[in-house]
Structure 1
Amino acid sequence: MSEYEHTCMIRGDGGRTIRAILDRICNKWTLLIVATLDQGSLRFTDLHKQIPGISQRMLTLTLRNLERDGLVSRTVFAEVPPRVEYELTPTGKSLIPPALTLAGWAMEHVPHIEASREAYQNRA
């Protein structure tokens, strides 16, 4: 029995919890936001500038979800105008090593994957 199957049996939810967490972590923007915040806390506008292609709305939604999941903390400073900063929590920081491992795997296997895709297209 795999660790995944064992965890699903213990939880009794058929893997729904794990799939929901992986869906959050593996979405289009989460790892980019987490990697950017690994440099330190940032204001919303600075974070937005450093992530090309993300809309303000998507950044807001993703940050809200990451805050809800305990990966990002949001600090509001009582200033005029108000200043809000986002930073990784210890749980968010713990995501960096596996994310780097996955990115390294992807970079290492790009030639093989591209060759397989081309071979597949040529078969069709």
Structure 2
Amino acid sequence: MLKNLTCPNWGYGRRRVSVGGCLEHHDHARAQVGSSGAQEVLIHAAESMPLDSIGIPEPVDPPQCVNVRDLRFEAIGMLPFVKAFAVARSDVAVYVEIAWQGRLQRAWVPRDTVTTRKLTPRRD
């Protein structure tokens, strides 16, 4: 977990896609859909806090179910509520994994925008 926290390039830039645990920068974050492959889907990246403002991170083990309020995404603005998993935290920020849009994204968000939640029991 801490290996991901020290990746030199995550958290910067506006458009990011997850590659091998680190975030890489692209002019347009796009993902191929389907094996025949002609269709591309634009992924709106969640905005992340600058790394120099998060303090000293520590892992959350096991990851914790959370809700994130007022998470801003590029091009579409702020979503009032997003479900996520907290995987790291500091005194001022939480590193969350978001699966909104069907693609894994990670972002550092202000700690005061994150609340814990319980998973709904499965109906088998």
TM-score bin (small chain) = under 0.3
| TM-score relative to the length of structure 2 | 0.22
Bigger fraction of residues in helix:
1
Greater C-alpha radius of gyration: 1
| TM-score relative to the length of structure 1 | 0.22
